[in-house]
Structure 1
Amino acid sequence: MDIRIKSRNTELTDALREYTLDKIKKVRKYFDGILEMEVELTYEKNPSISQSHIAEVTVFTKGPVIRAVVASPDMYASIDQVVDKLERQIKKYKGKLIDRTQQPRSTKLVADLDNNSRSAGEPKIVKVKQFAIKPMTPEEAALQMELLGHDFYVFTNSETEEINVVYRRKDDNYGLIEPIYQ
């Protein structure tokens, strides 16, 4: 398993690196399928931000990508809290895997197209992300979205081989957007 530690706006001392590695390695005992982990330690220089030390961990597995972010006044506390959060997410994911193998779920995803008008200002693209899209079922995409902590997830539907979007609705259910070509 490859563990990469990066720092932004702060010096990555040997003590901080060793502490991070010791804490992060504990996550392995909960899940065997970890391929690599990426840890980013950031310090926000703005004095008005009290939670200025941010620890972000991304775990790449054979299945979903699991991500946790925590901010606190102390970097060591941020590392402790992000590891705890990551452990909870991995336990939740493993529980869902066990539930899925023992009992089929009949989660129905319904599309809800919301035609909200844009604001008067001209929005612009400020960030571009690229990622590999793996074929999966809508249920697997919803699980991946939960593990990442996002409100939507773009994926290739393994049943239809089309690009779909699963998203969280305001009523805490999920919606599925499927394309219709005309």
Structure 2
Amino acid sequence: MNLTISGHHLEVTPALREYVLTKLDRVTRHFDQVVDINVLLSVEKLKEKERRQKAEVNLHVKGKDIFCETSHEDLYAAIDQLMDILDRQVVKHKGRVQDHHHESIKRMDGSAGESPQ
């Protein structure tokens, strides 16, 4: 698994890096087939008084790319929201991948294998 944590208009401190890693553990615990994770933490200056903290992640799993982004006044809160959204999407994708054992139409009607009488 390749992991890239980068900052835009922001220095990624070891505390931020560790916080993102602990939050990503929950996602990788649910689904271990993650190939690549790119996390971008940024600060947008919309106005002088209002600074928006933005967190986004691009997660590549086998067969699909999952992208999430959130904005908040606090960067740690933005990371929390981001990981909640990402976790839901990964669990949903895992369910789709594992739910490939569909019943065939012949077996669903109940007459498969029975002789007509």
Structure 1 runs of 4+ aligned residues shifted over 4 Å read 48-51
User: Whose RCO is larger (CA < 8 A, sep 6+)?
Assistant: 2
Greater strand percent: which structure?
Answer: 2
Give the corresponding residue for 2:12: 12
How many pairs were matched up? 103
Give the corresponding residue for 1:60: 60
- Provide the C-alpha distance between the structure 2 equivalents of 1:32 and 1:61, rounded to a whole number of angstroms: 9
Aligned-pair CA distance for 1:4 = 0.4
Larger Rg: 2
Once the two structures are aligned, what percentage of the paired residues are identical? Answer: 37
- Provide the C-alpha distance between the structure 2 equivalents of 1:52 and 1:12, rounded to a whole number of angstroms: 16
Would you say 1:41 and 2:51 are equivalent positions?
no
Aligned to 1:12, what secondary structure does the other structure show?
coil
Give the corresponding residue for 1:84: 84
Greater helix percent: which structure?
Answer: 2
Which runs of 5 or more residues in structure 2 are unaligned?
104-117
What code does the residue aligned with 2:101 have? Answer: Q
Is the Cα–Cα contact under 8 Å of residues 43 and 51 in structure 2 kept in the other structure?
Answer: no
TM-score of the superposed pair, with normalisation by structure 2: 0.79
Aligned to 1:18, what secondary structure does the other structure show?
helix
Aligned-pair CA distance for 1:51 = 7.0
What does 1:21-36 correspond to in 2, within 5 Å? 21-36=21-36
1:5-47 deviations in whole A, cap 9, x for unaligned?
0100112111111111111122111111101110000100122
- Provide the C-alpha distance between the structure 2 equivalents of 1:21 and 1:32, rounded to a whole number of angstroms: 15
What code does the residue aligned with 2:102 have? Answer: Q
TM-score of the superposed pair, with normalisation by structure 1: 0.52
What code does the residue aligned with 2:23 have? Answer: K
Which runs of 5 or more residues in structure 1 are unaligned?
105-182
